[in-house]
Structure 1
Amino acid sequence: MAQHGRQLDERVNDISSTRHILVVSHTGRPDSIDAALEVCGLLGDAGVVPVLPRDEWDDIRRAQPTAAIDDVEILFDGVACDDLECVIVLGGDGTILRAAELIRGTRAPIVGVNLGHVGFLAESERDEMADTVARVLAADYEVEERFALDVKVTNGDEVVYETWAMNEATVEKASRERMLEVVIEVDGRPLSSFGCDGVVMSTPTGSTAYSFSAGGPVVWPAVQALLLVPLSAHALFARPLVVGPDSVLAVEVLSRTDARGILWCDGRREHDLPPGARVECSRSDQPVRLARLRTGPFTDRLVAKFQLPVTGWRGPAPVEDAPAESGTSTSPTVAAAEGDR
């Protein structure tokens, strides 16, 4: 579902007369710190208050003690997530996932400037950063909602852990030497059990991430679905599955062996899985909101981000005009032939 960015103006005015925009970057890289300082400067020059996470503010101060960040606000220190108009992310997809975790549950959209490699979720590149900031300041973007996963771990009748995922929740073997024995389940019914290295449960957004590397299908963002992709499974029936968006996927670590698993969500949050533990994934009611500067087809994004070869493509054949009501043809070939008579 897409919404125009200008709809945010009324919400911002209701919250405060001051606009706040969060800047999230990969402060372990000098070029990312430089980019963050540049964006903060552009926001400040426009009368918008730049906001940084506390750890990133500290990292920038250590890396560049003379950096002009005294007027930058600190997230959760006087500025709440609900005060944010938008989030500008400088980095790759991992940094975007971290930003989504920071503002979970708010309506602030995320726009990414790629400083990484593929940067599939990013909207622009480093040389387009100033223009991206200008578009954000003008609220000149569309907001696209991507659904996320609610993830629950149970052991017996007890819920022992709850979290969420934007891309995927992955059950993996904890020991390199031991295969993980699991049973997979869809909508409360067992489907198959097998030994494997793990199982990926993914959203359409995550279909170009870990699921893609594991041989899962690429799912267009407009498709509402959940994916389940086994990892190196020893079974005849262990193919990627695509199920409805309201389905509930589950993976249980079988207790017939003492092999332990580990749950990873977006590669950021982990939880140990002893034998008998069960991981359940369902569609979350809290989507992630992405600010889109380009409205082209998803196919073009795939081609550009993965540098897919399309040399030789000529496009679809021209569509001929429909025949006239009188029954005479308006085909160019027929018309030319009739003109020769």
Structure 2
Amino acid sequence: MLVKGSPVSKVTLIYNDDKKKTLKLARRLEGLLKSSGIKIVDRSGSPDLAIVVGGDGTLLRAFHQTLGSIPLLGVKDGTYGTILEVDPEDIKHLPDALSKGMYWLEYASTVETRGKTKLVALNEFLIRSGKLGKSSRLGVAIDGIPIGECICDGVIISTPIGSMAYSLAAGGPLLDPRSEDMVVTYVAPWPPSLTLAVKSLVIPLNSEVEIWSPDAYVYVVADGLSPFKMHPPVKVSGSKVKAVLARLSPNPADFYRRIVRRMVPRRLTGIMDYLETGISPQNL
């Protein structure tokens, strides 16, 4: 469910100024915002939202800095940006939409580790061997029931939003962001399909996933950030923390349009043009 936003008067900009392309886009956006009367402040200035310019990784880092305390609006800088809302060519329309409150807030599910070390992830957790470059024997239990074990490069536990990232690349399914589920996916299991009934599972967010290993410790990586050393078993379940993401469309299914536009080769998207405009696609 999306919630209507309020008119915006102050924003903070988050971007990586080491990248010339990103810096150029951020400065252009800053000029457009100031021209429309929207103030640029830092986080101590109580901004109405944070505009994140860059790729998915930049938005994920912004989430870990704010943990849902401020809405995040992603502007992609030319990368895939599957969780980012605004394409570079559309930023000219952004100040008007924000100042009029023409945006909607999505409260995205996250997952967390249980126990002494509390970690939160918006995309996914990767649990892998404590020995760099080595596979490990990892087992998975769901709500206390063992479902399999194998030698593998790791286990991914992803949110609905994270299902379009590492988990998808490892062979997991794509979840609708509105679903209240998470995905558990083995990374490069061996022997393939001999030790596991399934490689990937979709389970409710309120379930508890337990990852165990005969090793003394494993590494837990949240959203591709720094690894944490933890003693198995590692327990993961849905978190009460929500990532607040600003969207420019009130239609939750617009997620599919964004995915197709950014991840499907252009020559295969002609049918999308036809469905949207009625104009017959060319060169299909």
What TM-score does the superposition give when structure 2 sets the normalisation length? 0.85
Q: Aligned to 2:160, which of 193, 204, 210? A: 204
What is the deviation of 1:310? 5.1
**Alignment match, 2:279:** none
Q: Do residues 241 (structure 1) and 198 (structure 2) align? A: no
Q: Helix, strand or coil: the match of 1:268?
A: coil
Q: Which has the higher contact order (CA 8 A, sep 6+)?
A: 2
Distance 1:96 1:298 in 2: 17
2:55 matched to 1:95?
Answer: no
Map of 2:33 onto structure 1: 43
Correspondence 1:34 to 2:30: no
Give 1:195 shift: 1.3
1:226-265 equivalence runs, <5 A: 226-234=182-190, 235-255=195-215, 261-265=218-222
Aligned equivalents of 1:86, 1:132: Cα separation in 2: 13
1:303 aligned partner, one-letter code = V
Measured on the aligned residues, the alpha-carbon RMSD in Å equals 2.3
Shift of 1:94: 0.8
Q: Give structure 1 stretches of 5+ with no counterpart.
A: 13-18, 52-73, 316-341
Alignment partner, residue 117 of structure 1: 79
The answer as to whether partners of 1:166 and 1:203 remain within 8 angstroms in 2 is yes
Unmatched 5+ stretches in structure 2: 276-284
User: What percentage of residue pairs aligned between the two structures are identical?
Assistant: 25
- 1:227–1:86 Cα change, 3 Å: same
Can you list the C-alpha shifts for 1:220-248, whole angstroms capped at 9, x where unaligned? 11111011000111223341000012111
Alignment of 1:173-322 (within 5 A): 173-175=129-131, 178-234=134-190, 235-255=195-215, 261-273=218-230, 276-294=231-249, 295=251, 297-307=254-264, 309=268
Q: Which whole-Å CA distance do the structure 2 matches of 1:236 and 1:246 have between them?
A: 23
Query: Would you say the 8 A contact 1:216–1:240 is kept in 2?
Result: yes
What is the TM-score with the length of structure 1 in the denominator? Answer: 0.72
* 1:177, distance to aligned residue in structure 2 (A): 5.2
SS in 2 for 1:162: coil
Contact 1:123 1:293 in 2 (8 A): yes
Q: Which has the larger radius of gyration?
A: 1
The answer on whether the counterparts of 2:159 and 2:182 sit within 8 Å (CA) in structure 1 is: yes
Contact 1:230 1:238 in 2 (8 A): no
Residue deviations 1:115-165 (CA, integer Å, cap 9, x gap): 04211111221121121232122221111111011123x5xxxx2x21100
Q: For 2:38 and 2:254, locate their aligned partners in 1 and report how far apart those are by CA, in whole Å.
A: 32
**2:118 equivalent in structure 1:** 162
Task: Please give the secondary structure, in 1, of the residue aligned with 2:119.
Answer: strand
Provide the rounded CA distance (Å) in 1 between the counterparts of 2:78 and 2:271. Answer: 30
The aligned length equals 266
Deviation string 1:88-134 (CA, Å, 9 cap, x unpaired) is: 1111111111121222141x221111104211111221121121232
| In 2: Cα distance, 1:165 partner to 1:50 partner | 28
Structure 1, residues 38-92: CA drift from partner, whole Å, max 9, x if none? 33333333443313xxxxxxxxxxxxxxxxxxxxxx43xx43xxx2211111111
**CA positional deviation for 1:284:** 1.1
- 4+ aligned runs moved over 4 Å, structure 1: 310-315
2:105 is aligned with what amino acid?
A: V
Residue number in structure 2 paired with 1:326: none
